[in-house]
Amino acid sequence: MKNDHDPNQCVVTAPEVCHALWISRDTLYAYVSRGLLRSAAHPSDGRKSLYDRRDVQVLAERKQRGRSRRAVAESTFNWGEPVLTSKITRIADGMFYYRGVNAVELSRTASLEEAFALLTGAPSKLGKLPAGFAVPSQALPFNRVLSTMASEATAGPTSDGRPRAAQLLRLGVVSAAGVVNAEPGLPAHELLGRAWSNNPQAPDLIRRALVLSADHELNASAYTARVAASAGASLPAALLAGMAALSGNKHGGLTSDCRDWTERMAGELSAEWRAQYALDGKAAPGFGHPLYPNGDPRTEEILSLFLESPKWHGLAAQVLSETGVHPTLDFGLALLERELGLPEGAGMGIFAVGRIAGWIAHIFEQRLTGQLIRPRAAEG
């Protein structure tokens, strides 16, 4: 395929992409919404976008080799594959949208329950707890949520529709908070804020973080929840599958790793910082998101709420200077946990509780397709 533009240029324009791939503008936008083509705002014209040349090359090579069964199977091993159609969250131009609503802007005013209603179509009315429910005894918020969902998954047949979804969200909130006798009607952020902190700002800041964490397209945990749902798993069982994926140290578990690392690094940056930075040859946890080469909007929003915490801004700037990568949501949640004096593991707890909303939306959407997700294996 002939390519007339500078091969060293890392981004290309929409007309160049369409010409290189022989596609329409509508198809280009579909590629972006499905995560096949990364985009960023044009530096000199906010009405336009630029696209990652590497993604264009991958798509061009795929078109050339055809979509044979073997090629499809091999492609599922690449980052970002396999691709499913979803109308829940769209990531484009360095931003993400819940059902077409700018998620960062939504986080400035909405509660988790309102984001839940937007994502799932379920009522935002607070779900009631089952009679006799007791908060699990585990010390960490995420482990309590995980234990609760495991109990619900094994409790036997029960209603599995939208009212049940609201109840499961409430169970997650109460379990993370570690209290069962909270004042009735308290929204998630108020319940968590009062249980975890005496800081009067904590509830509102937690509210924002919950909404920012509510969904992020087809990440590993959302995909896992959808696979379970496609096989006919119950709502709590599919949620449990998503939580299991989130617990991994390449997903939500990275939040705890980031907290531990920043505790060591977020103090005064000494002259030995560069030597301390190395972690067995691995990058710093909580930095560098493939979908946001110019910065994760979730973290940028959280950082903007802590302008009087220069050590965190300084650490982010230092890592960016040294490595060229920006902090991710894990860094933002670690910041929130430390600056508000929340209990250990609260950052990951916020991640899990917020993401329950997105997982439920994905489970419902997958059920509507009636399809079993079953990739094929390629001979190695």
The model's confidence at residue 61, banded by pLDDT at 50, 70 and 90, is confident
**DSSP-assigned beta bridge partners for residue 12:** 51
49 and 72 fall within a common domain? no
Asked if 153 and 53 sit in the same domain, the reply is no
What pLDDT digit, counting tens, does each position of 149-159 carry? 999 999 877 77
Quick: pLDDT tens for 163-197.
889 999 999 999 999 987 777 789 999 999 999 99
Higher per-residue confidence, 162 vs 118: 118
Q: Are residues 24 and 88 in the same domain?
A: no
Please give the pLDDT value at position 168: 94
Are residue 113 and residue 242 in the same domain, yes or no?
Answer: yes
**In this structure, are 77 and 224 located in the same domain?**
yes
Distance CA 314, CA 318 (A): 6
In the block, which residue shows the tokens 């379990």?
175
pLDDT single digits (tens) 310-331: 888 988 888 888 778 899 999 9
Give the CATH number of the domain where residue 236 resides. Answer: 1.10.580.10
Do both 56 and 36 map to the same domain? yes
Instruction: State the residue for tokens 């959808």.
Output: 226
Of 15, 45, 65, the residue at which a domain comes to its end is 65
Query: 58 and 1, same structural domain?
Result: yes
Please state at what angle helix 329-339 crosses helix 310-323, rounded to 10 degrees. Answer: 160
What are the pLDDT digits (tens) for 78-125?
444 567 889 999 999 899 999 999 999 999 999 999 999 999 998 877
- Confidence class of residue 5 from pLDDT cuts 50, 70 and 90? very low
Scan for tokens 């920006």, then name that residue: 326
Res 350: pLDDT: 97
For the chain, what is the mean pLDDT?
A: 85
228 and 310 share one domain: yes
Q: How many domains does the chain have?
A: 2
Q: Residue 30 is part of which domain span?
A: 1-65
Domain boundary among 27, 46, 65: 65
pLDDT of 45 reads 78
Say if residue 27 is exposed, middle or buried (CB neighbours under 10 Å; 0-12, 13-18, 19+).
middle
- For residue 74, how many other CB atoms are within 10 A of its CB? 17
**pTM for this model (two decimals):** 0.78
- Decide which of 32, 50, 65 is a domain's last residue: 65
Higher pLDDT, 22 or 135: 135
Q: What's the CATH code of the domain at 18?
A: 1.10.1660
CA terminus-to-terminus distance, the chain: 29
Burial of 138 (0-12, 13-18, 19+ CB in 10 A): middle
